[in-house]
Amino acid sequence: MLNLKIIIASTRPGRKGPAIASWFYDIAVKHPEFNVELVDLAKINLPFLDEPEHPRFQRYQHQHTKDWSGLINAADAFVVVTSEYNYGYPATIKNALDFLSKEWAYKPMAFVSYGGVSGGTRAVQMLKGVITALSMMPLSEAVHIPAFTKHIDESGKFNGEPGLDKSADVVLNELYRWAVALKTMRS
């Protein structure tokens, strides 16, 4: 079994990210090869990067960095569930990435994005460039959800549809292939 972390990027009060992440999580846990964990950046609650040294040295001074390092180190694959803010990614996910270095390296990352007409695609394109600097593998397979609010019901639950559910399966299967391949690079 490989460890998949589903990271919720948005942290603002009233955010919709957890509803979409919960939909994806319910599909991901059915994948036979992944141990799945939801990682909510609002709960992780990292401050703005406050480590004096470059993370590649892993000489962390703060307990919150050591905890974050341990969590990401234990992962074999990631899915980032992200909104799009002003045509880019939320600052919270960039900050969470910047905190660490080797812990991310040679691991695949896929994206579930949501927004208006763009479906969050601009945020994802920007994130792909960032994660290559960390020696990560960005997947081209993704779930992009335009006009996402139409899928959220009165109870706040995000309801998929056959096309979206299929995309999620495609992402998970491809992520698994990359996760197996890249694990050999880390051994």
Ligand X SMILES: Cc1cc2nc3c(=O)[nH]c(=O)nc-3n(C[C@H](O)[C@H](O)[C@H](O)COP(=O)(O)O)c2cc1C
For ligand X, give the closer residue by CB, 70 or 116.
116
For ligand X, give the closer residue by CB, 31 or 151.
151
For ligand X, give the closer residue by CB, 10 or 69.
10
> 41 by DSSP, 3-state: which?
helix
Site for ligand X in 5-24 (CB under 6 A): 10, 12, 15-17
Q: How far is the CB of 3 from ligand X (least distance, A)?
A: 24
> What is the DSSP-derived secondary structure letter of residue 29?
T
Encode 49-82: b = buried (16+ Cβ within 10 Å), e = exposed.
Answer: eebeeebeebebeeeebeebbebbeebbbbbbbb
For ligand X, give the closer residue by CB, 15 or 64.
15
Q: For ligand X, what does the binding mask look like between residues 108 and 147, x meaning CB under 6 A?
A: -------xx-x-----------------------------
92 binding ligand X? (CB under 6 A): no
R_g of the chain computed on alpha carbons = 16
Binding site for ligand X (CB under 6 A): 10, 12, 15-17, 83-87, 115-116, 118
